[in-house]
Structures are given as C-alpha cells and as structure tokens.
Amino acid sequence: MRISGARMVVEALHKEGVNVVFGYPGGAIMNVYDELYKQDYFQHILTRHEQASIHAADGYARATGNVGVAIVTSGPGFTNAITGLATAYMDSIPMVVISGQVPTFLIGTDAFQEIDAVGISRPCTKHNYLVNTIEELPYILKEAFYIASSGRPGPVHIDIPKDITAEIGEFIYPETIVVDTYKPTDKGNIRQVKKAIDAISNAKKPLLYIGGGVISANASDDVREFAKITQIPIVETLMARGSIENNNPLLLGMVGMHGTYAANMAMSEADIIISLGARFDDRVTGKLSEFAKHAEIIHVDIDPTSIGKLVNVDYPIVGNLNKIILEMIEIAKEKINPSRYESWRQILKRYDEIHPLRFEDSDDVIKPQWVIKRVGELLGEKAVISTDVGQHQMWTAQFYPFSFPRQFVTSGGLGTMGFGFPAAMGVKRGKSDLVSINFSGDGSILMNIQELMTAVESRLPVINIVLNNGYLGMVRQWQTFFYDKRYSHTDLTMQPDFVMLAKSFGGVGYRVYTKEEFDRALEDAISKNCVAIIDVVVDRLENVLPMVPSGGTLYNMMLEYKD
C-alpha cells in the first residue's frame, strides 16, 4: 500500500488498537491532522493546551492500562508537551507522543517553530525518535508502541518532519518486532525466588512494601493472594494506592512522608522487607542511613537500575512481577507458615490503634479530610479518583477508601500541579461507566483551567472538587513548620469566582460552605452529567499529618502540630 507519511501515522494507530488520541494542531503537524479529518477509526479530542493533551492521554493510560496517545505540533506545541512527558516518565506510564517537526531541509536553520524536540525530550522519555526517512516510519511507529508498553513502561516520543508526513511511501506495518538491543527480563531467576521465600519463612517480622509496579504489571490480584496465603502485613506507596482493597486487615496504609504511623513503624522494625515494584523513593525512605535498619531486603523489579540504587539489596530479583509473584505464591504455599508472624501482626495492630490516621472534625468549618472521606462514603468504588498536587493529594491518598487498582490517578514522581483535571478527562474517556472525580486545590486547578472547554465540548463530565483554603497549602504548611510562618507568596485569597468560571465555559459550578451543601452539590453535579467545579471552602490552616519532615526518620514522625 503506497500512502503518505501522515496516513501511515493514522493506519499505525488504528493497527495498534487506539480508540482515542488527544492533541492540538499546528503548522508542522497539519498533514497528520488532514488525515485525522478523513478517518473514522478513532476519536480525536481537542484539548485547549498541549500540556493537557499529554496529561489526558496519561490519565487514559493509567485508568485503562492501554498506551495513551497524543499528537502535537513543533516548537511551542512540543515544549508545552514536555511537562506531560516528564510526568509520565517519572511514573512509568505507557504513552506514545507524536510531534510535528519543520521539514528535514529546514532542520538546523532556526526555522519558524523549530526546536530540537528530541534533544529536549531525551531525558524525560523512555526513548525517542527523529524520523529521517519515510521508509523507517512504519517500523518506528511499531517499535514506539512496543517500547512504551513493554518492560518498565514509559512515554516514547516520535518527532516527524513535515516533508516526511507529506511524502508517499510503501506502508507495510510489521506484525511483530524484535529490537536486538532491547530485551527486558521477563522471568525472574527461580533460584533467587526460592532463596527469598526461604528468608521470609525464617523471618519473624516480614513486610510487603508495594509500589506502582504492582499496578503497571496488573499483578494486584496475585499480590493480594500472596498476602492472604502468607498473612504478611502490607504497606503501599502513593503510586500503589488501590492495589490492595482498603478494608484488607493486612493493609497498614501508605508509607513515607505522610504515611500512617503503623506503616512507617512497620518499615522501621521489619526484619525482612519484600519490595514489589517500588523504588525506595526519598519520600518513602526518609533519612536513608536510618531506613529499615533491621531488615534484609528482597527487591523485585523489572528495571535493574531500580535495584541497589539507594539501598543495599540482599535478594535482587529482576523480572516481570506478574510472573514472579505466581512463583512466589507456589513456593510460599509450601514453605511459609502464616501463624509464625502472629505476634508481629499484633504489634502492628497496636501501632495502628495508638496512632490511627485521624483528623479533628468541626461543625463550624468544613475540614478538607472530611470531604475526601465523604466522597468515599458516597461513591466508593463507583469513582476513579484523580488529584492534582499538594495537601489535597496527600489527604486523598490517606482518606479515600480505594478498593481496586487504577482507581487512583496521581502525579507521584514529578508532582505536577495541573495534572489532575486533564488526567481525569482521560480517565472519563477510558472508564465512562465510572464517575471521574478530580480532587484539586485552589492553586492547582488554575494550572489547566482552560480544559473546562475541552470537557464541555467533548462531553467529559469530570467533577472537580476544589478544596479551597486560599493558600498554596502544602508550601504554606512547610512555611508554618520550617520557615517561621513567613508565608512567602502562598496566600491565594485573590481568586476567581469558580462558579461563574465554570458556567462561563458551559459547565456547572457550586460554592460550598457546609456539609449539607456539599452533599447536595455532589449529587447535583453527578445528575447533571457535565463538567463541574465544586468549590469547597475548607479550614484554611489544616495541615497534612502525620509527617516525616524532609530528611527525618520514619520512626520519628510528627504526629501533631501545636502552634
């Protein structure tokens, strides 16, 4: 079949089973947009900013497990996409992002809207390509999807010059692909797995420490099974929230800076830590030299660079968790006696009873944590929850009763404000039968507010719940704790009328001061089935607690703050 490079892009996306792409047109990508106009294989959703295109594709990928796809133009179109790529890269999200480039004969001449796109995307993608000839285009498209979705997933960027999208060439799309320099390890070393299970069976205080890898490997059910058989307590990272159902008695909650007391004490006192798809991030470990001092470490990860990067590992196991966990289950059935850990479970239960996750509710003002809990009570497993970044993100991670993997969509590694709303649009597009909630703050929501237009136009009824405290809350909290209350540029009391703002785009808005008003607003927003902002006026000075101050130790948490 002889077709244009632009048509090849469309045909390849179709062959990859793509249902939706998010994007924004411009000069250098117009040939592709012309072919998008002529096809009816899949939907294109026009965002109102390229950053939002990428976040939306990212949210779609996180909610469905499929590769997210976005298309942008050259120059500023592409530089706007970078924050989205970096966000997806840090959280290992499979995506393919296609950008237009100036024609090959103009590359290097500082042409209009020219930028060295692959030069910029290199450190924030798993891999990238500048297409040099029409002949290599089909192969690159195939390889991009393969690389994005295999091994440790990640975003892949393809930069296509405009003359190549115009050129006619022979289109033969490869059915399968072998990249001889890229062979992710799939099966774990079975001897190492046996040794690891032996070590667990001899331990007294084992702990499962699970991360986002459990979700990307679709291994949640099997990890739950492993925990059930062995009765080993579990802590989750931010990225793993949802992989274990919240009412599982073995789950101690989130670990790390704003983790639960029980989870952090478990890390500190465990004698063996079984890390599954987690990467010992600084927000998890606190001060490294004091981290898990009494524990041997089993580290299962698909990416060898994650192993031994920050902590010494006694049992490294490289491979795909969804295969390794099955072997672990088989061996554990024979070797592990769950009653051995009974006293350990009792100790941890005690910790949970002494210092459970809590907040002081009030009748005078809405507490932000109450809002999260309330949405959990009302919607529970009927919603997918996205967040922006800051205090509201941590409260969501702490207080929402997650019950299934991919229910929680948040920018964990990069911490991108402005991520939540466009990501929640992608979630809605991927999971249309569930309610798509975005918890945001009065800071974050303004960082991609133009997406109200996309949500209205493309009928993506995201419900944005803004926990409005008139502050850039998390930074304000650090200023309170560590900067002697010098509130440098964190007071956000100057803000728009969110109700009118939502309405002006054709959405619905609510301003909420009481619990009753909140319940009514949420119910109304769901019934209206259109994009909404629920602007909840919350306690201005509420802090996220408990907290391990930056550089502090997990066993020495700040449990309360007294002025």
Partner 1 sequence: MTEIKINKVISVIVKNEHSVLSRISGLFAGRGYNIQSLTVAPIPETNLSRFTIKTSGDKRVIEQIIKQLNKLIPVLKVIQHDGIIEKEMAIVKIPIEESLADIDALCRAYNGKIVNVSEDSIVTMVADEPERVENFLKAIKKYHPKEIVKGGSVAIEQ
- Which residue number, 79 or 202, has a Cβ lying nearer to partner 1? 79
Stretch that binds partner 1, among 37-45, 72-80, 264-272, 308-316 (CB under 8 A): 308-316
Q: Which two tokens stand for residue 420?
A: 């939540």
Give yes or no for residue 308 binding partner 1 (CB under 8 A): yes
293 sits near partner 1 (criterion: CB under 8 A): no
Identify the three-state secondary structure at position 2: strand
The residue within the footprint of partner 1, chosen from 109, 176, 247, 305 (CB under 8 A), is 305
Q: To the nearest whole angstrom, how small is the minimum distance from the Cβ of residue 86 to partner 1?
A: 12
**112 belongs to the catalytic site:** yes
Query: Does residue 330 have an active-site annotation?
Result: no
Site for partner 1 (CB under 8 A): which residue of 204, 228, 309, 520?
309
Least distance between partner 1 and beta carbon 123 (Å)? 5
Please compute, for residue 347, the number of CA atoms within 13 A of its CA located in the half-sphere on the CB side. 18
Has 192 been annotated as catalytic?
no
Based on the shown chain and the rule CB under 8 A, indicate whether residue 425 belongs to the binding site for partner 1. Answer: no
The residue (of 119 and 506) whose beta carbon lies closer to partner 1 is 119
* Among positions 42, 171, 173, 182, the unique one binding partner 1 when judged by CB under 8 A: 182
Residue carrying the six token digits 């499979």:
94
Contact call for residue 93 and partner 1 (CB under 8 A): no
User: Across the strands, what pairs with 536?
Assistant: 467, 512
Backbone angles phi, psi at 529, to 5 degrees: 55, 40
Candidate list 147, 357, 417, 501; residue touching partner 1; CB under 8 A: 147
Place of tokens 């692959």: 118
Given candidates 39, 132, 346, 432, which one binds partner 1 under the rule CB under 8 A? 132
Residue 231 a catalytic site member: no
Q: Which amino acid is at 434?
A: L
Q: What is residue 67's DSSP assignment?
A: P
Q: Which residue among 168, 179, 354, 558 contacts partner 1 (CB under 8 A)? A: 179
Single out the catalytic residue among 425, 474, 547, 557: 474
DSSP states of 351-405: HHHHS-S-----SSSB-HHHHHHHHHHHHGGGEEEEE-SSHHHHHHHHHS---ST
- CA 172 to chain CA centroid, Å, is 35
From 16-24, 129-137, 398-406, 523-531, give the range in contact with partner 1 by CB under 8 A: 129-137
**Which residues, 6 or more positions from 448, have their beta carbon under 8 angstroms from its beta carbon?**
49, 51, 52, 55, 418, 419, 421, 422
Task: Name the residue nearer to partner 1 (CB basis): 109 or 289.
Answer: 289
3-state helix, strand, coil in the chain (%, to 5): 45, 20, 40
Q: Which is nearer to partner 1, 182 or 478 (CB)?
A: 182
Q: By CB under 8 A, is residue 279 in contact with partner 1?
A: no
Contact status: 181 vs partner 1 (CB under 8 A): yes
Residue of 50, 269, 451, 542 marked catalytic: 50
Among 76, 108, 119, 506, binds partner 1 (CB under 8 A): 119
The secondary structure of residue 558, as a DSSP letter, is: B
* Min CB(30)–partner 1 separation in Å: 24
- Out of 126, 143, 145, 162, which one is annotated catalytic? 162
The reply on whether position 130 binds partner 1 by CB under 8 A is yes
Q: 50-64 and 76-90 are packed helices; what angle lies between their axes, rounded to 10 degrees?
A: 30
Distance from C-alpha of 296 to C-alpha of 289, rounded to nearest angstrom: 14
CB of 100 to partner 1, least distance (A): 18
Of 122 and 520, nearer to partner 1 (C-beta) is 122
Residue 341 DSSP label? G
Cβ of residue 396: shortest distance to partner 1, in angstroms?
31
DSSP, residue by residue, 444-497: GGGGGTTHHHHHHHTT---EEEEEE-SB-HHHHHHHHHHSTT--TT-B------
The site that binds partner 1 (CB under 8 A) totals a number of residues, namely 20
- Do 241 and 233 form a contact (C-beta atoms < 8 A)? no
For the question of residue 162 being annotated catalytic, the response is: yes
Q: Return the sign of the alpha-carbon dihedral for residues 180, 181, 184, 185.
A: positive
Among 303, 457, 517, 519, binds partner 1 (CB under 8 A): 303
Among 180, 353, 364, 563, binds partner 1 (CB under 8 A): 180
* Closest-CA residue to 65 (of 405, 392, 293, 365): 405
Which residue of 62, 127, 157, 476 would you call a contact of partner 1, by CB under 8 A?
A: 127
Positions 195 through 224 that interact with partner 1 (CB under 8 A): none
Q: In Å, what is the CA distance from 374 to each residue of 367, 462, 512?
A: 11, 18, 14
Closest CA to 2 of 161, 177, 176, 167: 167
Q: Between 130 and 199, whose beta carbon lies closer to partner 1?
A: 130
Phi then psi for 487, rounded to 5 degrees?
A: -85, 70
User: Which residue lies nearer to partner 1 by CB, 129 or 510?
Assistant: 129
Please, which residues bridge with residue 384 across strands? 436
Taking the least distance from each CB to partner 1, the nearer of 55 and 126 is 126
177: contact with partner 1 by CB under 8 A: no
Query: Active site residue: 15, 30, 113, 114, which one?
Result: 113
From the list 304-312, 461-469, 473-481, 492-500, the region that binds partner 1 by CB under 8 A is 304-312
**Using CB under 8 A as the criterion, which residues of the chain lie in contact with partner 1 when the complex forms?**
118-119, 122-123, 126-127, 129-130, 132, 147, 179-182, 303-305, 308-309, 312
Catalytic residues: 50, 112-113, 162, 474
